[in-house]
């Protein structure tokens, strides 16, 4: 049976300056991967550099690069940096996202455009470049949301802008038949990170916690093993969205 190890693999982690992306970068480095640490804007640079230091401390090599993933030329530049630093790309994990919580009737056109730029267009462009650049046998993973399986208000433009990624994933996974490249999504429950809290109230936080089997929010430490699984022994899973959320939603 061929080895499914991450040792010496080149992994591009989009949105790696903090939270889940940062932990993924560090954990794959501990398994021997070389990591491209992506961040979106100057305000995230310090976090990205700290992630890169953690990658190196874990035994991996790291390169840090800023890119607006909603612009094709900058996504191309991210992959060019990866190839320039390490010679190839084996795996891509995209954790980038943006959330707005409000009634559909109150979402402005500007908010709509920004949400779809970050959650749908950026995911599309990353997947497109990954499909062109990833080595045969590679892996492409996108982080979406368990709200894709929820019957709820207030998250229309958030879940709605993540929903297209499922269709991108199904199509791309089929188009890459013959290259042994798997393409999947992971849909976490609400995560106990700085990404989650600004949009919520004490009451809504309590509700989200009560909806999972242990009465807690999803922890980033709960998601990383699933990411690593899809990058290694989970290679046969393809074209899927995996809901990793303690039963918060099911489908």
pLDDT band, very low/low/confident/very high, at 1 (cuts 50, 70, 90): very low
What is d(CA 16, CA 44) in angstroms, rounded to the nearest whole number? 9
Read off the CATH number of the domain in which 88 is found.
Answer: 3.40.50.720
Provide the pLDDT confidence category of residue 3 given band limits of 50, 70 and 90. Answer: low
Query: Domain limits at 50?
Result: 10-244
- pLDDT over 70 (residue 77): yes
Residue 249 lies in a domain: no
| Model confidence pLDDT, tens digit, residues 103-121 | 999 999 999 999 999 999 9
Report how many domains make up the chain: 1
Structure tokens at 33: 């991967």
In a domain, 3, yes or no: no
117 is a domain residue:
yes
77 or 200, greater pLDDT: 77
Whole-number Cα distances in Å, 64 to 34, 45, 69, 158, 178: 11, 9, 15, 28, 32
Q: Is 112 marked active-site?
A: no
pTM: 0.95
Name which of 117-121, 145-149, 205-209 the model is least confident about: 205-209
Which of these is catalytic: 39, 155, 158, 248?
Answer: 158
Instruction: Judge whether residue 49 has pLDDT over 90.
Output: yes
Burial 122-131 (b: 16+ CB within 10 A, else e): bbbbbbebbb
Predicted confidence at residue 199, as pLDDT, reads 83
- How far apart, in Å, do the first and last CA atoms of the chain sit? 33
Answer for the pair 147, 159: CB distance below 8 angstroms, yes or no. Answer: yes
Check residue 42 and give its pLDDT: 96
Residue 5 resides in a domain: no
What is the spatial distance between Cα 128 and Cα 95, in angstroms, rounded to a whole number? 16
* Position 2 confidence tier, pLDDT thresholds 50, 70, 90: low
């Amino acid at each position: 049976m061929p080895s499914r190890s991450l040792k010496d693999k080149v992994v591009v982690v989009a949105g790696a300056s903090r939270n889940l992306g940062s932990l993924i970068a560090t954990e794959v480095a501990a398994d021997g991967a070389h990591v491209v640490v992506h961040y979106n804007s100057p305000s995230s640079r310090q976090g990205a550099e700290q992630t890169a230091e953690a990658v190196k401390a874990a035994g991996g090599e790291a390169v840090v690069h800023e890119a607006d993933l909603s612009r094709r030329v900058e996504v191309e530049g991210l992959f060019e940096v990866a190839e320039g630093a390490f010679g190839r790309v084996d795996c891509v994990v995209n954790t980038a996202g943006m959330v707005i919580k409000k009634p559909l009737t109150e979402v402005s056109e500007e908010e709509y455009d920004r949400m779809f730029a970050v959650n749908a267009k950026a995911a599309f462009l990353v997947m497109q470049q990954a499909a062109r650049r990833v080595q045969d046998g590679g892996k492409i993973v996108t982080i979406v949301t368990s709200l894709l399986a929820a019957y709820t208000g207030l998250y229309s433009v958030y879940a709605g802008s993540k929903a297209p990624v499922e269709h991108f994933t199904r199509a791309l996974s089929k188009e890459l038949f013959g290259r042994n490249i798997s393409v999947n999504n992971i849909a976490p429950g609400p995560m106990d990170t700085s990404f989650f809290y600004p949009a919520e109230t004490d009451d809504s936080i309590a509700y989200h916690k009560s909806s999972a089997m242990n009465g807690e929010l999803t922890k980033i430490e709960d998601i990383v093993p699933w990411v690593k699984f899809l990058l290694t022994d989970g290679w046969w899973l393809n074209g899927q969205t995996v809901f990793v959320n303690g039963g918060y939603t099911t489908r």
